[in-house]
Chain A
Amino acid sequence: MIDILTTTFIATFIAGVIASAIPLVLGSLGETLGEQSGVLNLGIEGMMLFGAYFGFVTTLETNSYFLGLLAGIAAGFVMSILMVMLNIWLGLNQIVIGLALTMIGGGITSVLYFSTYGQTTPRLGQPDVFPIPVLSDLPVVGSSIFQQPLAFWIALVLAFVVSVVLRNTNFGLRVRAAGQNPNSLDAAGGNVVRTRTYVALLGGAFAGFGGAYLALMSAGTFTPFMTSGIGYIAIVVTMLSRGRILWVIASSFVYGISVSVGTVLQLTSFDLPTDVIKMLPFVAVMITLIVFARSSYVPPALGVPYTRGAR
């Protein structure tokens, strides 16, 4: 309680918020793309775990954070190929397949981790930071916000790009049409299946990136099931944001704060049990869901496979 307002404390807090928010931002961006086009990716948790594990292994073996992130993105992408084939091409139930993908992601990564690193439980070092000139010398915010790894800035740029794509491109218009009324898109000469395929693959890549960010930048290691529900929270963030990217970022940071508050309070004289800290974000989400229960709205075609001519 005594040192709650010291600069180090605040800097740690801000850095903590960012570390837990960015993986969620990335996951939610991918989920938003899919959901806007009518694809519910309930397997995002599995994709993030895939990204986290393969990112971790690659960085561990090559010492390159860049390659690690790429590997994470690739891992999420590969898993989304499976989802595209089952959900979008075959039109199978998106909930059943989503649960299966979550289990596959969790199962494979934990089996692999257990058999390879189970004994050694290695950790990664600190990633290189990419200081922003001048700003990084500011007190408090300098060290916490402006001395972040390059991946942090890439994530923010990607958020901006997704926002522009959805709102101002022909592709984005087709994506939204596929989620609002796929028949209309089809009648207008667009290809619903192809549009959904592209965004689902992108969504997988985003999820993989998010997972890799979590392992490489935020945690510095991999532990089985380390995402512990971030994927599901990404789904909630997406549902509440309804395609508005600023909302995605804002609600991700609210989540980051709810995680960080718990962790940071532990450093002070407050003695919060770990279980409470782990629960806090979910309680926050639940309260948000109750408050916004009346106004939660998803694209009409969400979760419905498209078959031409089906009524």
Chain B
Amino acid sequence: MSNPISDATGMIPLPSDGQSKLSKVMETLVRTILPVVLALLTSVVVLIVIGKDPWFFYSEVFRYGVMGNGWQQTIRLMAPLLLYSAGLIVVFRGKLWNLGYDAQYLLGSVVVAGFSPMLIEVMPLWAAFTVSLIMGTAAGAAWTLLPAALKARYGTNEIITTLMMSFIGIGISNMLVRGPFQNPDIHVPQTRVLPVADMFPQIPGTRIHIGIIISVVVVLIIHLLLTRTSFGLRLDVFGSSPKTALHVGINSPQMILILFILSGALIGLAASVDMLGYQGNLRANINPGYGAAVLPFVFLGRLNILTTIPFVAFYCILDTGGRLASLDSGLDTHFLMIVIALILVFMSVIEYFGVKKDLGQSYLPPGLRRAVTGLFDRGARA
């Protein structure tokens, strides 16, 4: 089958023949887990350099993220992040870059946070939930429309337009929190708090709300859509080569619009689920930054939703535990951002060496080899 990571990251797929099954499994494990391990080890070095105790930090991560009720918090966080990952996978498989995820998420959040307190007063709870979810989803989707239309009509670089729209969307969401949705009872800029009774019910015997069920169901449907239908195949053709897509007769502008809208919708739904299930209100200038955080993991899962799930679980532990551990260690929470970036870097590098190995080529890249020998050449001649 086609392997969109190859194109999304400029790499070719995993080896498929000439190897025993066991060594293939081993290699896949190495390629997917080694980047995470290396990133964590490097982050230990970073911690030591800035004078923090890495052992303390990571044991705190484990304590808050897994032990006690930590695992429940972790699963609670997986509800939005699985949807989020699906939203990224959908566009990345089409080799489109939706980098406006922060705004799509925040706008989904602010719409739900702003309207659901009012909806609950005028309609039954289940109806309010439904309407809220639809509104949040629509808000996320709407924010992709302009970049998608520009890309579809004029081929305008979507990286730039989605990033610009992200800054604008974040601004609008803050304006809404400070303006019409501001809780009139307090001076801190934030929306009204949903009463616990008016939020998603919890799964009996746990503190995990039913959002996780919604999330898993939606994500599985998306997975089937991507892997089992003619739409999914068309998407793979489109992703592997827009030129081929045009040649085959796939309606590329329509495909671009569908993918962006689907992506924004899933991200908006992620925000709505978290808002109705856990957050209950939104404060100004808050940006959880989940988009950048799950980015490396959808690639490590090779843009397949099922294989991404364990990675999302891993990140949720890191996030749940890491935010509290940072507080305990006197660290800025953006420390996690460094870890994520390191995973991206190590992932790309390890993939590079894997591809080299498959092709039976020298590990020394031709560019580097030439640059190095070139320098000597030059010295010799001068």
Contacts and interface: CB of A to CB of B under 8 A. Distances in A.
Interface of A: 42, 85-86, 88-93, 95-97, 99-104, 106-108, 110-115, 118, 191, 193-194, 197, 224, 228-229, 232, 235-236, 239, 273, 275-276, 278-279, 282-283, 285-286, 289-290, 293-294, 296, 298, 305-308
Given A90-B368, A293-B153, A112 B160 contact: no
Given A96-B299, A282-B168, A111 B153 contact: no
A91 B344 CA distance: 15
B164 A296 contact: no
A194 B378 CA distance: 12
22 contacts: A88-B367, A90-B348, A90-B349, A92-B348, A93-B11, A95-B97, A97-B344, A100-B341, A100-B345, A103-B337, A107-B338, A111-B334, A114-B331, A115-B51, A232-B164, A275-B172, A276-B171, A286-B168, A289-B156, A289-B164, A293-B150, A305-B367
B344 A99 contact: yes
A224 B8 CA distance: 30
B174 interface: yes
Contact of A86 (B46, B97, B342, B349): B349
Given A86-B349, A93-B348, A118 B367 contact: no
Contacts of B331: 111, 114-115
Contacts of B340: 103
B67 interface: no
A237 to B, nearest CB: 11
A86 B348 CA distance: 9
Given A91-B367, A115-B50, A289 B332 contact: no
Given A91-B365, A96-B9, A106-B337, 6 more contacts: A91-B352, A92-B9, A95-B97, A100-B344, A110-B332, A229-B163
A232 B10 CA distance: 22
Given A97-B344, A283-B168, A285-B164, A115 B330 contact: yes
A191 B348 CA distance: 25
Interface string B144-173: 001000100110110111011101100110
Contacts of A306: 367
Interface string B1-16: 0000000111100000
A286 B157 CA distance: 12
A107 B160 contact: no
A275 B178 contact: yes
A97 B160 CA distance: 16
A193 B9 contact: no
A191 B10 CA distance: 22
Given A103-B341, A112-B50, A273-B178, A286 B164 contact: yes
Which of A191, A236, A275 has the most C-beta atoms of chain B within 10 angstroms of its own C-beta?
A275
A97 B348 contact: yes
A111 B46 CA distance: 10
Interface in B293-347: 295, 299, 330-332, 334-338, 340-342, 344-345, 347
B374 A194 contact: yes
B44 interface: no
Most chain-A Cβ atoms within 10 A of its Cβ — which of B46, B165, B330, B366? B366
Contacts, number: 168
A111 B159 contact: no
Task: Give chain B's interface secondary structure class.
Answer: helix
B371 A194 contact: yes
A293 B50 CA distance: 46
A273 B171 CA distance: 10
B119 interface: no
Contacts of A224: 332, 334
A93 B7 CA distance: 9
B370 interface: yes
Contacts of A278: 167, 171
- Counting from the closest, the 3 A-B pairs by CB-CB distance are A114-B332, A107-B337, A279-B171
B98 to A, nearest CB: 12
B292 interface: yes
A229 B162 CA distance: 12
Contacts of B125: none
B191 to A, nearest CB: 15
Nearest to B341: A103
B218 interface: no
A107 B299 CA distance: 21
Given A96-B299, A97-B345, A275 B157 contact: no
A285 B160 CA distance: 10
B178 A110 contact: no
Nearest to A233: B164
Given A93-B9, A100-B345, A293-B154, A107 B334 contact: yes
Nearest to B285: A275
